[in-house]
Structure 1
Amino acid sequence: MVSDFSSKIFHKANVQKSLYSHLVGSALALEIASFARQQQAPILCIVQDNQSANQLKQEIDYFAENDQLASIFPDWETLPYDSFSPHQDIISARIEALHQFLSMEQGIILIPVSTLVQKLTPRSFIEHHSLLLKQGQKLDPENFIRRLTLAGYKNVSQVYSHGEFAVRGAIIDLYPSGAEFPLRLDFFDDELDTLREFDVDTQISKDKISSISLLPAHEFAVNDDTIALFRQNWRSEFDISRDPACIYQQISNGAVPQGIEYYLPFFHEQLETLFDYLPDQLQIIELGDWQQTLQQNWQEISERFQLRKDHILRPALQPQQLYLQPDELNQRLKHYRRLWLSQGESQSSIKATALNYTAIPDVTLDNKHTDLMHRLLSFLEQTRHRTLITAESPGRQEQLAQWLSDAGLNYSTVTHWRDFVQEDSVQEDSDCFITVAPLSEGFIDKDGNIQLIAEAQLYGDKVRQSQQQKQSQVDIENVIRNLAELQIGAPVVHLEHGIGRYLGLQKLDIAQYETEFLAIEYAGGDKFYVPVQNLDAISRFSGNPDAKVVLSKLGNEKWSNARKKAAEKIRDVAAELLEIHAQRAVKNGHSFSLTSQDYRLFSAGFPFEETTDQRKAIEAVINDLKKPNPMDRLVCGDVGFGKTEVAMRAAFIVANAGYQVSILVPTTLLAQQHFDNFRDRFADWPFRIEVLSRFVPAAQQKTILSDLQQGKVDIVIGTHKLLQKDIKFKCLGMTIIDEEHRFGVRQKEKLKAIKANVDILSLTATPIPRTLNMALSGLRDLSIIATPPQKRLAVKTFVRRQDDLLIKDAITREIRRGGQIFYVHNDVASIERKADDIRRLLPEVSIAVGHGQMKEVQLERVMQDFYHHRYQLLICTTIIETGIDIPNANTIIIDRADHFGLAQLHQLRGRVGRSHHQAYAYLLTPHSKSMMTSDAKKRLQAIESMDDLGSGFLLASQDLEIRGAGEILGEDQSGQIQHIGFNLYMDMLDKAVEALSAGREPSLNEVLADKAEIELQIPALLPDDYVIDVSIRLNLYKRIASAGSSKDLDALKVELIDRFGLLPEASKNLFGISLLRLRCNRIGIKRIQLNDSKGYIDFIEKPNIEPMLIIELIQQKSHIFKLDGPSRLRISNDMDTSQKRLSFVQQLLHQLENG
């Protein structure tokens, strides 16, 4: 381990502060890890910021082979005196860390300067509100719930985040602070029977655990005592505002407002510091010039205090109440032994010991040279030290191994650092060793005769950050189909009766039994009640959420006709798709071969780890290009999800094979952006890339056109100019079309002519849902990139009243981290006035204005300047809804957000959050709530609560899904989808494609196939004391009704028992009836109705049973069965209990199914 590598740093005798310099690259992490192993006390390592802490922890973890040695005490990631709170996960991590510090004897704490100066909740609070939970302990559930509330936990219907709990009878779900997974506690009377971790996405239990420390949810409690203390402290410090938005009034009412952390002193008698949590023998390591960061941090705190000290609603506390002053901090540090470490020269007046580490020289790969690795080979030849080369992922390691092998180097693979430093554990005849490690920069250790080269040093740039991607277990499409988050009044579709409004779940007494129904209101106020076991006939109506929905009328033929018309159109669509597929299979095109060495090197230039979906799309495109048939593939993915890289890989393969590539885009701005990106990406390759747009002078355009015809241009990017008759290619191999739906009708006709002859790769950011992809599987070449890139974070969304201070904070926070801001002001008449207001507020910020009434050339110039970072802030109308990708813009402020629709707000918010930085959206509303409609308030509440990377995306963009479907299937089909709803349309298309693919003509009945209805007059429901939350109950009913097999039903049973406890009798009946429905659908039974003495069975027109079976049944048991018309079987029998009725139907169906 690291102990095998002796640390060169130590505390010198009788010296309070020892200084060391020249800890080059990751030698710094190596020395800290080695030093910590030799210490019997905790080490506090002061770093400049969170980013430095994260990188250092990764490197220490590698050298120590122990991810527990170093921990980060995280920064709040908010500005001093901010108006919103840290993320709950950050609060959770901090509380866990404070709890560990109370008993810490060894290890490294990495702490950013901004966190070190914060005053903290007292140790007594953490100790008093912590509880060790153990399996088998005596614990009264009601007292425990009270204790959770006092510790700041929030009672919710379903647990998703740290600091939440949910109660379901004898089961309590809980997400403790600091825990990796939430817990399911199962009580048996007043004994804690079991503790099980469960998955947040599926809500299903995982592993049992024996114990866990339950920590408080916040650094303060909100109860009667603390509220009284808060009020007393406030009154002694500030005046009292009667405004209900005032912090004082909110806390007095038991609410916990955003930004309350900056009033922490009011909740406690006395705050403490990090030094109070840690032992006296603590050792301090100081990195680089952190004192300068400390002074800058204090200056920022002081400036922000001056701005906020007189705020009426949120007056600021004195800085010394919340923070340690620089002099005070430095005085505290004098009590400890200190090491100062620098990666470069020492700037201190105290003499530093220079360690014998030196930097790795230039070893970058050189694809202009015949020998790609000549610099590395030369370096290895000169030094003769044992060499370790690190890759950032296993895939990158494979690539590195291939290059080393091609260069004739003999390498060995090692897993751990200790394998490399221990001479007896490695092969001495190896030229070098390779491993996977997250190191940013290598070093030469002349004392130890070893050297380490980080992968980034081979590429001469920062390499992709690779972490294991979490694969979600939840199909997002099912979130829609399962009616999750369905609100009262939302439109739904019933397969037979059409579009109505959801009124909620209602219980009715049927034949003395309580039964639960989903109530739907239709036109004219008519109500229809759907038994919960038949909820598979219900789907969410997916259309524009802001549009008025026309409700169907019960008993009216209009819905039935609309459904039949759609079914006929759907059959035509399915047939056309199959025909296109057959035609393309016989066409001849180019078959491109792949030069593996060149392609590997080009791929290595992509500075990120590919997402799973991106990798699949790239593989699909490569396979298409290898085939002799022409490619016609559509790649769908949100802006910033990696479509362009797929196009670049394809362009490289075609250009490398000697063919030309044209890239067609709808706007000049996009053409320029693609040109810049392609030029950067292909910089090291001998391909000529040109752009044709109005920004290119006429003389230069003429030259480009001539060179295109002669084959001197390899890749050309342009707008519709590329479709003009004077454009001639010498050898066009592929056309890439970006956002085809944004071209006009005439341009689309020209595109069709192009498509007939060359390989086509189309890119779109319009969401195409996965159900459509499934329906078209094998018929249309479609790749969906739905996985967000690594480190992509959901956009933090805040609905706030218009406030200059808030606007100034938001813009300042973004500019300080080097980012840009969109400010949406959707009124051209007053946009210049708004720009002047912002200039007065922030005179040092460079501001541009853009709107749709500007001349096109002028607008494009503004957007281009913003894209190239010439402006920090763009004040604009909704022209940015769709357009270029600006990864550097990570804050958006939307004026009068109450005037926008839900889908429009979602799209505007989607302009930010394109990089790995945390993005922010501020939705500004008028000061008076009376100026907003109730619908606007609901929309804002919904968008604030929606997770941009989760199910909320689909909920907010149903209109986009319909556009996406129209793009694939044609505009006519978009109309059909609007009439009958997206989900029903997709189900019907799926059935039609399945029938045609199997070689049979889909009948109207097959496309409109209804599921069996069963009414046995028995209790069949999930009692509301079993599943309390209505939305969860609705979701489960839908999943049970939609289960496709007995295996699915068994899995659901297991899940319910796991989440809610043993099934009540009524719930067992619900599963029994659902199993019977599956058998009825297989046999061809439309309806079964039974009471205690009689009933009937209705068959479909052509059931899947032998007619003789029915005849034999009637002959053998004529006293029970009689035919009533061609499709009804009458039943008379003694079935006076629910169990008898259930058993009777089970036996009858078994007989019909098995003969």
Structure 2
Amino acid sequence: MFDLKASYNPTGDQPKAIEALTKTVAANEKHQTLLGVTGSGKTFTVANVIRNTSKPTLILSHNKTLAAQLYQEFKDYFPNNAVEYFVSYYDYYQPESYMPSTDTYIEKDADINEQIDMLRLSATTSLMTRKDVIVVSSVSCIYNLGSPAEYTKMALRLMKGMRIRQTDLLKRLNQIYYERNEIDFKRGSYRVRGDIIDVFPAYQEFAIRLEVFNNTLVDITNFDPLTGDVINRDQLPEERRGSFFKSQTQDIEQYTEHRQKEGTYAEIFPAKHYIAPEDRREGAYLQIQQDLESRVRVLRNAGKDIEAYRLEQRTKYDLEMMKEIGYCKGIENYSRYFDGREVGGTPYTLMDFFPENYLLVVDESHITLPQVRGMYNGDRARKTNLIDYGFRLPSALDNRPLNFDEFLRKAGINLYVSATPNEWELNLSEGRIAEQLIRPTGIVDPNVLILPTKDQIHDLLKRVKDRIERKERVLVTTLTKRMSEELANFLTEKGIKVTYLHSDIDTLERTTILDDLRKGNYDVLVGINLLREGLDLPEVSLVAILDADKEGFLRSEAALVQTMGRAARHILGEVIMYADTITKSMDKAISEVQRRREIQLKYNEDNNITPTQIVKPLRESLIDDDISAQFDSKKGKKKKTEIEVDYMQLPPRELNKEIKKLELEMKYEAEMLNFEKAALLRDKALDLKKLLQ
């Protein structure tokens, strides 16, 4: 079912780990662990386990950057299968909240990334239509999403030759949240031209043309929404062919027949994950009204007349909006009523879209699992204030992430992946632990050197210059944001090409900085705790840990092992710890790295292996280089461009790129509070969009 493509075979510890994990996963053992050092090919091992066990797979990562990296790697390994990406679709998100101490209400504010929204819908659509699915996700997978049963039930299934009136077809499209738009044909919309209905599914990049004549669906074709060119079956991406035609509700003969007859069947899934079936809406509205009246009485009896009035006005307005247009701002806070869940009931999440005994791969489990544990309480604390002060009904508490017990119940067959797994994962695995210490390249764990903190900066400068002469890169980890900035400034004054990473830098800019380091635009990268898990930087030969003897979560055993692992992808990898004492965490971390190093050296000697340097190509950027190049990723300053563009002469695809550039500039000017300039850019982008019509 899963077609693994790779130009190399498992080596070192990989064959043994693959065999052991395949055996336990195939036997549906609930918990197992892959303990693999940095650079040992854990991702390739997991890919082989997926291929061998043929289980739909959810890969859970603790941040968007690593999720994007894993998504690209699995897309490369499985080009003919459905590899999907599911992370938060917000470029900017300010949750609704209330601070009683200052009587400040902050309304929810968000900027949705349309591309990520499409990928999220694509993930659920693939899960509903095929079995060979791998979804790479952040912790977004534990948040309320809507019922998969309703999502599937509401899908519009069309077959060439079926009897259907055009008015009924349009009504069904409206019911699954597709909007009629004759001017701007975009994802999640449809347009009507005589007997022809064009539908742009919210989860894919090609559109569907439906021709209805004499109450019969006479033709179904796929086309490029930008050019209008008809797309034949053999032109569709391989991973989309199955998902477009195959439904789990069909038998295999019917499915085969539809695949042989091009353009005979179409399946259109809803444009939103929150589905409110018409037959359930009236009952939901009535229940909301009853709960509102009950809650208002409680507030008034407690002497909270202002809160009662506020809640009554806000909820009645939401009800009116839902009745009139089927939607309101913050409708997710009423999801319990539409899902038919009990008070406090477990919400539906992405995990519910997977079949029983699916494979859950928890990447960097020592960080990801604690992150999952913490989501529920943080969300509840914020919403309790909103409820107590009359901004929301208590039902808002049921629009929430899973708590940890619910997460474990929804999890399938768990595979924990980490170089430093916690005792929790190891205990649950009960001996089902595959250790992967040997790297396919023969590279061994780095040598560790401990130096005093006196004159540590000047010593570091000398070592950095040595690395630069050899065209190698350096990572430096500090304890504070201020220290990282000051160190970066010091190195800059000394003529070193350096930048720094910290939590204020967004995901896209962080990815750009890491790429710039690999390209040689920077020689040194300074950071705090952002230089640990998952960074794949084979050009880095030196990792310097300042103040290594300051005990804390940034200098714990696991943190130190992970940080040292960043130097384990280079044949000359070295770690320098600047410390005046050796802490317990340092001692344990150094001992573990030394243990692994000795095993690796012995394996190389026994098998006559000479370590070879990793050569890893740079993957394409998440956005077009010609768009991102308009901005300086370090300071956010727009670069000057002197090119005059004759837009009338541009082909549609290039015109689309120009529109993206203008929209990016518009957002930049708005952030700089240059609203007049932003408005001009917006109008210019709208004018260009008209040229596409």
Category of TM-score, reference length = shorter chain: 0.5 to 0.7
Return closer, same or farther for 1:302/1:452 CA change in 2, 3 Å cut-off. Answer: farther
1:298 maps to 376
The one of 80, 85, 92 equivalent to 1:72 is 85
Greater C-alpha Rg:
1
- What CA deviation, in whole Å up to 9, does each residue of 1:370-417 have, x standing for no partner? 876899xxxxxxxxxxxxxxxx9xx99xx99xxxxxxxxxxxxxxxxx
Residues 342 and 788 of structure 1, relative CA distance in 2, 3 Å threshold: farther
- Say if 2:416 is the partner of 1:340: yes
Deviation at 1:302? 1.8
Structure 1 residues without counterparts, runs of 5 or longer: 376-391, 401-438, 457-462, 471-609, 615-637, 643-672, 678-738, 740-762, 775-783, 798-879, 882-890, 895-903, 910-942, 956-1030, 1037-1058, 1060-1155
Return closer, same or farther for 1:167/1:202 CA change in 2, 3 Å cut-off.
same
How many residues are paired up? Answer: 467
Decide which of 665, 681, 685 is 1:952's aligned counterpart: 685
- Give the 3 Å change call, closer, same or farther, for CA 84–790 of structure 1 in structure 2: closer
Secondary structure of residue in 1 paired with 2:273: coil
Distance 1:79 1:162, change over 3 A: same
Q: 1:261 to 1:36 in 2, by over 3 A?
A: same
- Is 1:100–2:181 an aligned residue pair? no
User: Shift of residue 176 of structure 1?
Assistant: 1.4
Deviation at 1:356, TM superposition (A): 2.2
Partner Cα distance (1:149, 1:197) in 2? 20
Change in CA separation of 1:764 and 1:79 when aligned onto 2, cut-off 3 Å: closer
1:216 corresponds, among 246, 259, 270, to: 270
Aligned residue among 131, 140, 144 for 1:114 = 140
| Residue 905 (structure 1) aligned with residue 675 (structure 2) | yes
The DSSP-based 3-state class of the residue aligned with 2:192 is strand
Alpha-carbon distance change, 769 to 121 in structure 1, aligned in 2, over 3 angstroms = same
Q: Distance in 1 between matches of 2:567 and 2:223?
A: 36
Question: 2: distance between equivalents of 1:259 and 1:796?
Answer: 27
Q: Separation in 2 of the partners of 1:68 and 1:200?
A: 24
Q: Deviations over 1:810-847 (max 9, x none)?
A: xxxxxxxxxxxxxxxxxxxxxxxxxxxxxxxxxxxxxx
The equivalences for 1:579-978 within 5 A come to 610-611=625-626, 639-640=631-632, 764=640, 769-771=644-646, 794=664, 892=671, 904-907=674-677, 951-952=684-685
Conserved? CA contact 2:146–2:273, under 8 Å: yes
CA contact (8 A) 1:43 1:283 kept: yes
Asked if 1:323 is matched to 2:387, the reply is no
Q: Which amino acid is the alignment partner of residue 770 of structure 1?
A: V
In the alignment, structure 1 residue 54 sits paired with structure 2 residue 68 = yes
Once the two structures are superposed, what CA deviation does each residue of 1:707-755 show, in whole Å capped at 9, x if it has no partner?
Answer: xxxxxxxxxxxxxxxxxxxxxxxxxxxxxxxx9xxxxxxxxxxxxxxxx
- 1:442–1:373 Cα change, 3 Å: closer
What code does the residue aligned with 2:47 have? A
Q: Match for residue 386 of structure 2?
A: 308
Say whether 1:45 aligns with 2:50.
no
Cα distance, 1:269 vs. partner?
1.7
Q: Classify the secondary structure of the residue corresponding to 2:53.
A: coil
Given candidates 431, 438, 452, the residue that maps to 1:357 is: 438
C-alpha distance in 1, partners of 2:205/2:149? 25
Which residue of 1 is the match for residue 594 of structure 2?
A: none
CA contact (8 A) 1:114 1:297 kept: no
How far is the alpha carbon of 1:220 from its aligned partner?
3.7
Q: Report what 1:466 is aligned to.
A: 620
CA distance in 2, matches of 1:796, 1:298: 36
The yes-or-no answer on 1:123 pairing with 2:148 is: yes
Q: 2:214 aligns with which of 170, 173, 189?
A: 189
User: What's the secondary structure of 2:205's corresponding residue?
Assistant: coil
Please say if 1:230 is aligned against 2:255.
no
SS in 1 for 2:312: coil
TM-score by length of 1: 0.35
Post-superposition shift, 1:30? Answer: 0.8
CA contact (8 A) 2:141 2:349 kept: no
Could you say what secondary structure the match of 1:100 adopts? helix
In 1, Cα distance between equivalents of 2:178 and 2:203: 13
- The amino acid across from 1:37 in the alignment is R
The partner residue of 2:334 within 244, 263, 276 is 263
Distance in 2 of aligned mates of 1:226 and 1:134: 28
Q: Which amino acid aligns with 1:337?
A: I
Give secondary structure in 2 for the equivalent of 1:162: coil
Q: Is there any run of 5+ residues in structure 2 with no aligned partner, and where?
A: 97-107, 234-261, 297-310, 342-346, 448-462, 475-511, 521-565, 572-599
Q: Find out whether 1:178 has 2:203 as its counterpart.
A: yes
SS at match of 2:88: coil
1:213 deviates by 1.4
Is the contact between residue 386 and residue 392 of structure 2 (CA under 8 Å) also seen in structure 1? yes
Structure 1 residue corresponding to 2:42, chosen from 14, 28, 51:
28
Give the aligned residue type for 1:611: D
| Residue number in structure 1 paired with 2:312 | 241
- Determine if contact 2:178/2:189 at 8 Å carries over to the other structure: yes
> Is the alpha carbon distance of 1:38 and 1:247 closer, same or farther for their aligned partners in structure 2, counting shifts above 3 Å?
same
Preserved CA contact (<8 Å) 1:153 1:165: yes
Equivalences for 1:409-448 in 2 at 5 Å? none
Matched position secondary structure for 1:161: coil
| Contact kept? 2:161, 2:218, Cα under 8 Å | yes
Question: Using a 3 Å threshold, how does the CA distance of structure 1 residues 42 and 279 change in structure 2: closer, same or farther?
Answer: same
CA distance in 1, matches of 2:19, 2:662: 39
Aligned partner of 2:58: which letter? L
Question: For residues 452 and 264 of structure 1, do their structure 2 counterparts lie closer, same or farther at Cα, with a shift above 3 Å needed?
Answer: farther
How many Å separate the matches in 1 of 2:403 and 2:147? 19
Cα separation, 1, equivalents of 2:446 and 2:196:
61
- Overall identity of the aligned pairs, in %: 15
Partners of 1:442 and 1:120 in 2: CA distance: 39
2: CA distance between counterparts of 1:374 and 1:244? 57
Distance between the aligned counterparts of 2:224 and 2:681, measured in 1? 18
Aligned equivalent of 1:861:
none
Give the AA of the match of 2:32. Answer: S
Separation in 2 of the partners of 1:87 and 1:369? Answer: 39
The separation in 2 between residues aligned to 1:277 and 1:369, in whole angstroms, is 50
Write the deviation string for residues 61-95 of structure 1: whole angstroms up to 9, x where unpaired.
32x24262532333343566645585555454434
Equivalent residue, structure 1, for 2:532: none
RMSD: 5.1
2:358 to 267, 282, 297: 282
- The change in CA–CA distance for 1:262 and 1:203 in structure 2 (over 3 A counts) is farther
TM-score, scaled relative to structure 2: 0.55
CA distance in 2, matches of 1:87, 1:465: 21
Matched, 1:18 2:32: yes
CA distance in 2 between counterparts of 1:316 and 1:51 reads 35
TM superposition shift of 1:232:
1.9
Structure 1 contact 366–374 (Cα < 8 Å) conserved = no
Determine the C-alpha separation between the residues in 2 that align with 1:269 and 1:102: 21
Residue-by-residue CA offset, 1:964-989 (whole Å, 9 max, x unaligned): xxxxxxxxxxxxxxxxxxxxxxxxxx
Give 2:166's match in structure 1, choosing from 122, 141, 144: 141
What SS is found at the alignment partner of 2:340? coil
- AA in 1 matched with 2:79: N
Question: Counterpart amino acid of 2:331?
Answer: I
